[in-house]
Structure 1
Amino acid sequence: MKKSVKGSIDTISFKSLRSLYLFALLTIAITVLLSQLLIQYNLNSQLSDSRIINISGKQRMLSQKLGKEVLILNFVADTTKKKEEISTIRETLSLWKTTHYNLEKGNDSLGFPRKKSATLSELFRIIKPNFDSIVNATTLFLENKKRNIKESENQKLVQSILENQVVFLSKMNQIVNEYDKEALEKVTQQSKTEYAILAFTLLILLLEFMFIFKPTNQKVEKLIAKLLLSEKKALKLAYNTEIISEVKENSVKELKSLNYAMENTLLYCRVAPDGTVIHIGEKFSKLLQYNPFISDKTFSQVLTPIEKEQVVIDRIIAEKQRSGWQGELNITNRKGESLWLDLSMVPVTIKKDESELLIICFDITERKKAEQEVERLNTENVTDKINQQKIISSKIVENQENEQNRIAREIHDGIGQMLTGLKFSLESINLDDKEKSAQKIDYLKKLSLDIIKGVRTATFNLMPPELSDHGINSALAKLAQELSKLTGKNILFYNKTNFDQRLDSLIEINIYRLTQEAINNAIKYADSTHIIVQLSHSDSILSITIDDNGKGFDINEAEKKRNSESGMGLLFMKERIQYINGRVFINSILGEGTRITFNIPI
């Protein structure tokens, strides 16, 4: 009973200390917040005060500047210079008036207060007549100077401006001093306020230490002493029980290790004589995708959903449950995949009249697949492979010869003949006949352009400079543009995903040749009028699609005709794309067109 009462008293004390602690923290936080708000307000006020003092000093400078400019204008005789001086004085006067009105009446945008102290209001009232006199005299002086009249009056106006200026400057000095005095008073008041807030904060901290931290520290020390005593008792009790539980713990560890090894390394299952599952290992259930908590399934139903296979397994269990059985089973899992199991069935006697079957399996699916693959490869026609390689080699050599002959014909028949014509035309120019010479020179210019175009076409077909300089994107765009010009077909290129990466040079040249081959096939065999080349990419795949509106073809028939030009063309595409670890997809519909897609890993 005493312990209960003491515990409730401790709880009440801690609650009280916690409330006081939160109150002290809240008070300090409010004090700090208020001090910061006050400091920020005073800082803003000081900024406004410093700006006002600066503007007041500027107002004195403007007054002096105005007087100097009036004196200068009074002695200027040049008309042009007089106009410039009048314009300058007007600007100075306008700025001076605006500044004075802002100081006198206040300005929110500049931070000038509208309300002023009685001293400042009185000083501005005293200075107003001098200010008005200077403004009126300067305005009248400028009008007279502008009209070149009343020179004698102008002298009086200048004298009035200078006299009032002296008084104005003296009064402005008093205003500036008053502004400075008031700013100093504000700073002094702020300093006193901050000292007061600091003293209040320190007082709060002192009270918190005396009435919160110190009592809390004493209670915590007592609590720690009790905890240490309880810890000693608990250690002694734990030592006594540790020896008793050590043997049991070791046994449990051994059982857990054995169970873990069986669950995660063996494909095993315990089956009743009637074929129902008693327990199935975790690894075995994962392989068969079976929920081990379902207890109404037979072993055959767990292994496979195929009824014929279930009948075979049930027959083996019924016939071999006393003698045991070992062999290979081919089953179909719930995904429709074929699995091969090396299964051993061992009868185990639990009690005198109770027995069960322990079934241990090994997954030999991969081994069986390897054996079947080896058998399939051994039964393939090796001669057909050799003949196919011979055809590919001969076609490669033939294509190389055809390409070399084509390039030679282009150079000989096109560029060669044009160069010969250029030579003869140059030799036949008669400089004495200027009219014919000019005509021949125009012809030679055109012929030179044709030669340049022919050379560019020949070199472009060999290796486009855009490919090595700027990459596959620029090269394919140039290829579509040039082939469109040469063939008259509408060939368009789109970079759908703004691909601009550089790839390995071998990959780029193979992509270029594959695309070139696909476009040439569409031009040569498909009778198409529109061809679209699209480039897109993801994080790991670069995809190039070539669509045409040609007559299309039967892909299966083309692949069967390996000796034909179309069949070999498809074969060459597949060989080349495999060389860079890519894939090609061909979709063609008779009468509608063909789509060829190249996917290359990047």
Structure 2
Amino acid sequence: MTKLTKALSENLNFKKLKQMYIFALITIAITVLLSQLLIQHNINSQLNDSRLINISGRQRMFSQKLAKEILILNYATNSSNEKEAISNIKETLKVWKFRHLALQNGNDSLNLPETKSQHLLELFNAVKPNVDYIEKATLKYLSDRDKHVSHTISEQEVQAILDNVAIFVTKMNLIVSQYEYEAFEKVTKQRNIEYGILSFTLLVLFLEFIFIFKPTNKKIELLISKLLTSEKRAIKLARDTEAISIVKENSVKELKSLNFAMENTLLYCRISPQGKIIHMGDKFAKLLQYNPSFDTDKSFSKALTAVEKEQLDIDRIIADKQRSGWQGELNTTTRNGDPLWLDMSMIPVRIRKEESEILVICFNISIRKKAEIEIERLNRENTIEKINQQKIISSRIVENQENEQNRIAREIHDGIGQMLTGLKFSLESINLDDKEKSAQKIEYLKKLSLDIIKGVRTATFNLMPPELTDHGIVSSIAKLTLELTKLTGKNIQFYNKTEFDQRLDSLIEINIYRLTQEAINNAIKYAESSHIIVQLSHSNKILSITVDDNGKGFDVASVEKKRNSESGMGLLFMKERVQYINGRAFINSIPGEGTRITFNIPI
């Protein structure tokens, strides 16, 4: 068999296979590396194409904007509007000139390349006279405007600027078209290169399959087939010559291993159907403190426990289950008075025709049972605590709802109701015969109507801000901070740091809004802060809202322990609400320095 394997190995030539396989891997790696280098080179050359097209296209818009502002200035009659128009023209001219020079000569800050094709250079040289003329003519026009030159000359200058702007727009169209054409050529070239690389890679893989993998696979299949045949012959021969010896040896080894395992690892015991101990393993005897030299009775139940009731239960199980066997958990008491839990199995074993015994195998589960009892106790305590907390939360929610309804009723009755009553009396008191007083009352009624509308809007804003329904969470928080700044006089700022503009589920948005509102109100009501900053930021999966204040701060740990206090329940409500939308709240506060509350909500 060894000679056959050696001959097959030489026929297969593993050294040659290894060399061919390494060559195949190196070829594929070189192909992939070259393709990536070429692709990256072409991508780097195309990075700024879209920016070039965008900026060159916007140049046309800037030139038209410049012409429009010049026309507006030319026909402006108000001096204040004239100063603003001149300022706008100068700013537009500055941006337009800067971007044109950046396109023509390149600019690092705008990531515009300096090198250009010959045709683009010719187009920029062609448009340069118009650019220079527009710049000089605009500056001359503004100078003449300051010197109050005659209107006829201004009209001529404006017309000349408009004519050059039209020519500039036409020539810039050619430049934009050239940029687009060159970008298209680059993309086409990149596509052809990728097609070529793909074709070459597929060709390499096909050749490797034909000349390397397929022949090798056939040789390996032949080798394995012959090895399996040889193995079957060897096994058959071994079985025919050593069957008896192997069976005997294995039996002895199994008996020794089983005996060793049972003696040193298992809690086992052999007992008679009457409950007498035939043999007990060393580990089990050590656990029960059983010594056959002193325990002459050799009763299994008495070896397990010294409690008489428990002994009777064990004897009853042995008597009832000596033929069918038994498995279950048994709670006993050791001789030291400690509880002992055993997972016990009683297995009937027939030794001879008229002789049988019971094999008892146990596992000590006292630690597990103790842990289960402790877990049950802790679960009961946690359940009771959660029920109590939920009762407190429910009562506070009902109380808050009632207070909110009373507040809304007071606002409507004291504010809007009284204004409507005044509106009614004022309408009834209008005397159409006295036109002067009627006009005065109508003006008063207009102002009163606006106050009523403002009051209604304030009430509805507190209930459900329309900004939240119409425009989303960003706009509604911005509106909230603005309104609270007006109402409280506090400096409340809002920053959308990552320009978040997505709409979320309505339930998530209203909860985010209420959390932010609660955090700001707490900073105003309890922290006595003068500056509050609300920041919104986001990543791919998390929306984060942070509320910072410069108030007096508090000890977070001590407040959270006071679950029955207003501040403690406020933090609990806040955490319950953010958990309702699968978010998390982080509260950090330093007494005397301020508080930061952060809400992280998955999006």
Q: TM-score range by the shorter chain?
A: 0.3 to 0.5
Q: TM-score, length-normalised on structure 1? A: 0.44
Question: Could you say which structure has the larger radius of gyration?
Answer: 1
TM-score for the superposition, normalised by structure 2:
0.44
